[in-house]
A and B are shown apart, each in its own frame.
Chain A
């Protein structure tokens, strides 16, 4: 079936299309060249007055895995459903279920989401949950850096090739698209009662620092040829003055590619009467000067949410400010983490400044190809708040109205009131489509040229950008119309994407011995196969 979308203003920055009215054609799930004769179209959809973009891609959103699921069970009061939605779509009335996650992302025009924290030992459950998220395509990033096996290799000054092979093996075993490091060595240090971990502090018993771990993983990822650079959750998250940690981590990257996650949580200075200030300009300057660095923001928006993280040190520290007052801390073979509910308040000095710092980072960063939209869902805010974030960035007057409504002291000392920049639709298309596809190595999405997957979002052009992006006018997933007028109209299941870098399987001898000795898990049983992904976990695997 050949479909023609006509009359819409197209934003396709990967192909230098910036708001021109042009036709998009697709057939069999892929975007194709227009035929000689437009009358060959089996369907023509008139999109006059509409905006056309590729389906949006979220590179960092906690949508699956043990932490998310525990958070659901911990907080039944936060997702009570009042009325049935979407009759006849499975579990459509179940808020904050995997199903709801897929439907809500699709409504906003998203077609691909990355779960950035797949703990290897928990990978099967993470993939089972991802498989039960409808419509969108999914991928995971495997967590390394607190696994005893890797720390031993580093402690014993093993041949770097072994580290590379091990990282390659982990990616295969977990069917992920890349790797993530969370407070490198921190969860292990916590096991020795250490409650703090900085970049150059050593993990007890191993004699290796966060820096050493990061560098080793970073080099392995480069050597394996994985498109997505190591995805880094730095040390000292949430601590006043931690902007220095982020700056030092950028230096530690040593010119090699590195992605820094949710940097808003590291944009903190320690100046002023309260010992808490914006470090956004220092971080943005550093970022602007280092082309090897990509970042996502982790914007805070006001309201009730829950923080979930593999950073057990941070979450343990934060348990005292849980709101409501309940929390889960957990530890495991290859990591740890915690779930701490939190309410960001606009009248609170720190929360208001966090909100401002995130926006400052967005507005001070020069290169939209290297900076990404996230709220670190659900840590800074639920992903459903993205439309509000888009409006804040696209509408200076709206931002200024907010500035007069937040904590006055925070509004006073932040830079935000002096920043006039407004994002345009092309910026949004870069940051939510073209750039994430490039960062993740997904050549066939994030753009609208022939050969790309026909994941296409259409929006009704409106002055209120929050309203515009909250509900896609149409969404095509693999060429199928799945959303109309902001409502999911058709259910389908996307695929799970992974990479399969080459590595020497000789490493399995050491890993197998290690598992036999210390794990309650058989090494072979640890590895997820493509067959298991498809037949038992329930998701078709696409290997890039």
Chain B
């Protein structure tokens, strides 16, 4: 599965697959045609702006050199420097996690090894979801179930076109559906969503609610008529994810006594579901778990990466971002970037830059679909010669866990 020249040389279909998957948004669509040799992608070829940008950026940036303070160096030098920084750090924060399964594994090994904390760049949203899960649990469904069977989809999300560009096509305008004649009715809640959901819940309980909004009354009627209403929750601007989720979750619980109802949680950011899932099976809890005492301690507020960095509790930031060329946030602390080869740092280079292969383009991988139910395989299309993040982090942590194996002697 390797190519030799510097251009976008295609490999033969891997595993008999004619199509490839896209890791550049949380839908992880796996029906894209393979990029054509040396030709920039267009939205005609691949019906998604985000995918086109993601693939083009990665395909045209296979070359990047490790750097220390902005100056090219050898991989060994960069690895050694990163190791020194990590070894000397009191509390390193492994942040970003804009990546796939292997990136998360890599980040978690660094955290366990050097006594750090891991957090995703959208950690606030994940943490708000987690706090609801940890308090009460929830009743959820999958993308496929909504596509096939929901007859009413209530959207509580902003910027869906931006965060999940093909959601419309995949979920709402589905033609062939199971046991359903027509596409689901879609209702979007624009604002005051927490209170509307609360009012609908009160109406279902036949509580006296003389001044219920017309929006709430309308939604109550629709939900009362629906066989399988689903509340889809994505990125919510101007409202707290936690409050929205609590209100929606309560409503679903009430409805489910008599009919099928569910939440569809869309995750949102690239890699956020993988970050939480992979961290959970490594440390028992998930993100925002600290290893500085040798055992894991989760604290959804205290261990927020941004807070640890802003308050000076953390003294080193490691940014893992193989799927986005977006620069890490500027912080006071020295920074190690394990990142997308197209990352540019303007005049503020990090202490160490370790470019890594982009999963789904330059190496194989797996990334969680937004609903967390499925890990989608990512294909290697070109060989960039760059190391994968997991191998790299194993090198950095070589004295601790060689190949994931401790030297117990």
**Does B137 contact A91, Cβ atoms closer than 8 Å?**
no
Q: How far is the CB of B395 from chain A (nearest CB, A)?
A: 15
Q: Mark A324-337, 1 if CB is under 8 A from B, else 0.
A: 01111111110000
**Does A193 contact B282, Cβ atoms closer than 8 Å?**
no
Question: Which of A66, A327, A536 has the most chain B CB atoms closer than 10 A to its own CB?
Answer: A536
**Does B133 contact A492, Cβ atoms closer than 8 Å?**
no
**Does A125 contact B139, Cβ atoms closer than 8 Å?**
no
**Does B282 contact A536, Cβ atoms closer than 8 Å?**
no
CB-defined contacts of A190 to chain B, threshold 8 Å = 260
Q: Mark A514-540, 1 if CB is under 8 A from B, else 0.
A: 000111111011011101100111100
- Total interface residues on A, CB under 8 Å, equals 75
In Å, the complex CA distance between A338 and B30 comes to 28
**Does A87 contact B294, Cβ atoms closer than 8 Å?**
yes
Of B19, B139, B176, B284, which contacts A94 at CB under 8 A? B284
Say yes or no for A82: interface residue by CB 8 A criterion. Answer: yes
Q: How far is the CB of B177 from chain A (nearest CB, A)?
A: 8
Say yes or no for A69: interface residue by CB 8 A criterion. Answer: yes
Say yes or no for A76: interface residue by CB 8 A criterion. Answer: yes
**Does B284 contact A332, Cβ atoms closer than 8 Å?**
no
Q: How far is the CB of A367 from chain B (nearest CB, A)?
A: 37
Of A97, A329, A492, A524, which contacts B405 at CB under 8 A? A492
Contacts A90-B401, A332-B142, A518-B176 given; does A124 touch B284 at CB 8 Å: no
Say yes or no for A201: interface residue by CB 8 A criterion. Answer: no
**Does B138 contact A98, Cβ atoms closer than 8 Å?**
no
Q: How far is the CB of B255 from chain A (nearest CB, A)?
A: 11
Contacts A489-B408, A520-B170 given; does A339 touch B375 at CB 8 Å: no
Of B102, B262, B294, B374, which contacts A331 at CB under 8 A? B262
CB-defined contacts of B280 to chain A, threshold 8 Å = 69, 72-73
CB-defined contacts of A94 to chain B, threshold 8 Å = 112, 282-284, 295-296
Say yes or no for B302: interface residue by CB 8 A criterion. Answer: no
CB-defined contacts of B401 to chain A, threshold 8 Å = 90
Of A73, A81, A148, which contacts B296 at CB under 8 A? A81
Q: How far is the CB of A459 from chain B (nearest CB, A)?
A: 22
Say yes or no for A128: interface residue by CB 8 A criterion. Answer: yes
CB-defined contacts of B138 to chain A, threshold 8 Å = 328-329
Q: Mark A480-521, 1 if CB is under 8 A from B, else 0.
A: 000000000111110000000000000000000000011111
In Å, the complex CA distance between A122 and B140 comes to 15
CB-defined contacts of A74 to chain B, threshold 8 Å = 133-134, 137
In Å, the complex CA distance between A538 and B105 comes to 11
Say yes or no for A387: interface residue by CB 8 A criterion. Answer: no
Q: How far is the CB of B128 from chain A (nearest CB, A)?
A: 14
Q: How far is the CB of B130 from chain A (nearest CB, A)?
A: 7
In Å, the complex CA distance between A132 and B283 comes to 11
In Å, the complex CA distance between A84 and B292 comes to 10
Contacts A84-B295, A521-B30, A536-B365 given; does A73 touch B147 at CB 8 Å: no
Q: Smallest CB-CB separation from A148: which chain B residue?
A: B178
Interface residues of A in 70-114 (CB under 8 A from B): 72-76, 79, 81-85, 87-91, 93-100
CB-defined contacts of A69 to chain B, threshold 8 Å = 277, 280-281
Say yes or no for A41: interface residue by CB 8 A criterion. Answer: no
**Does B408 contact A491, Cβ atoms closer than 8 Å?**
yes
Say yes or no for A121: interface residue by CB 8 A criterion. Answer: yes
CB-defined contacts of B170 to chain A, threshold 8 Å = 520
Q: Mark A447-471, 1 if CB is under 8 A from B, else 0.
A: 0000000000000000000000000
**Does B101 contact A128, Cβ atoms closer than 8 Å?**
yes
- Total interface residues on B, CB under 8 Å, equals 77
**Does B405 contact A66, Cβ atoms closer than 8 Å?**
no
Q: Smallest CB-CB separation from A326: which chain B residue?
A: B137
Interface residues of B in 232-264 (CB under 8 A from A): 256, 259-260, 262
Say yes or no for A129: interface residue by CB 8 A criterion. Answer: yes
Say yes or no for A542: interface residue by CB 8 A criterion. Answer: no
**Does A339 contact B408, Cβ atoms closer than 8 Å?**
no
Interface residues of B in 130-167 (CB under 8 A from A): 130, 133-145, 147-149
CB-defined contacts of B346 to chain A, threshold 8 Å = none
Interface residues of B in 42-95 (CB under 8 A from A): none
**Does A90 contact B19, Cβ atoms closer than 8 Å?**
no
**Does A88 contact B407, Cβ atoms closer than 8 Å?**
yes
Say yes or no for B331: interface residue by CB 8 A criterion. Answer: no
CB-defined contacts of B293 to chain A, threshold 8 Å = 84
Q: Which of B10-18, B204-212, B313-321 sits within the interface? A: B10-18
Say yes or no for B268: interface residue by CB 8 A criterion. Answer: no
In Å, the complex CA distance between A73 and B377 comes to 24
Interface residues of B in 281-335 (CB under 8 A from A): 281-286, 291, 293-298
CB-defined contacts of B277 to chain A, threshold 8 Å = 69, 125
Q: Mark A118-155, 1 if CB is under 8 A from B, else 0.
A: 00011011001100100000000000000010000000
Say yes or no for A543: interface residue by CB 8 A criterion. Answer: no
Say yes or no for A419: interface residue by CB 8 A criterion. Answer: no
Q: Mark B365-402, 1 if CB is under 8 A from A, else 0.
A: 11011001111110000000000000000000000110
**Does A524 contact B15, Cβ atoms closer than 8 Å?**
yes
Say yes or no for B406: interface residue by CB 8 A criterion. Answer: yes
Q: How far is the CB of B156 from chain A (nearest CB, A)?
A: 19
Q: Smallest CB-CB separation from B408: which chain A residue?
A: A490
CB-defined contacts of B364 to chain A, threshold 8 Å = 532, 535-536
Say yes or no for B276: interface residue by CB 8 A criterion. Answer: yes
In Å, the complex CA distance between A100 and B147 comes to 38
**Does B406 contact A333, Cβ atoms closer than 8 Å?**
no
Of A82, A88, A121, which contacts B406 at CB under 8 A? A88
CB-defined contacts of B374 to chain A, threshold 8 Å = 121-122, 124-125, 521
**Does B283 contact A97, Cβ atoms closer than 8 Å?**
yes
**Does A333 contact B282, Cβ atoms closer than 8 Å?**
no
**Does A83 contact B372, Cβ atoms closer than 8 Å?**
no
CB-defined contacts of B365 to chain A, threshold 8 Å = 536
Q: How far is the CB of A303 from chain B (nearest CB, A)?
A: 18
Say yes or no for B109: interface residue by CB 8 A criterion. Answer: yes
CB-defined contacts of A83 to chain B, threshold 8 Å = 294-295
Q: Smallest CB-CB separation from B170: which chain A residue?
A: A520
Say yes or no for A343: interface residue by CB 8 A criterion. Answer: no
In Å, the complex CA distance between A179 and B330 comes to 51
Contacts A329-B139, A524-B18, A525-B376 given; does A76 touch B298 at CB 8 Å: yes
A-B pairs, top 10 by smallest CB distance, nearest first, are A84-B294, A93-B295, A333-B144, A81-B295, A124-B375, A332-B142, A326-B137, A524-B17, A525-B30, A517-B176
A-B contacts, 23 of them at CB < 8 A, read A76-B285, A84-B295, A87-B294, A97-B283, A97-B296, A99-B282, A100-B284, A125-B374, A128-B278, A132-B105, A193-B259, A326-B135, A326-B136, A328-B137, A329-B140, A331-B142, A332-B141, A333-B144, A490-B408, A491-B404, A525-B377, A536-B102, A537-B366
| Chain B residues near A (Cβ < 8 Å) | 15-19, 21, 29-31, 101-102, 105, 108-109, 112-113, 130, 133-145, 147-149, 170, 176-179, 256, 259-260, 262, 276-278, 280-286, 291, 293-298, 364-366, 368-369, 372-377, 400-401, 404-408
Given pairs A97-B282, A129-B281, A330-B139, 19 additional interface contacts (CB within 8 A): A66-B372, A72-B286, A73-B130, A88-B400, A90-B109, A97-B281, A97-B283, A97-B296, A124-B375, A128-B375, A148-B178, A322-B137, A326-B134, A332-B145, A492-B405, A520-B147, A525-B30, A536-B364, A536-B366
| Chain A residues near B (Cβ < 8 Å) | 64, 66, 68-69, 72-76, 79, 81-85, 87-91, 93-100, 121-122, 124-125, 128-129, 132, 148, 190-193, 205, 316, 322, 325-333, 339, 489-493, 517-522, 524-525, 527-529, 531-532, 535-538
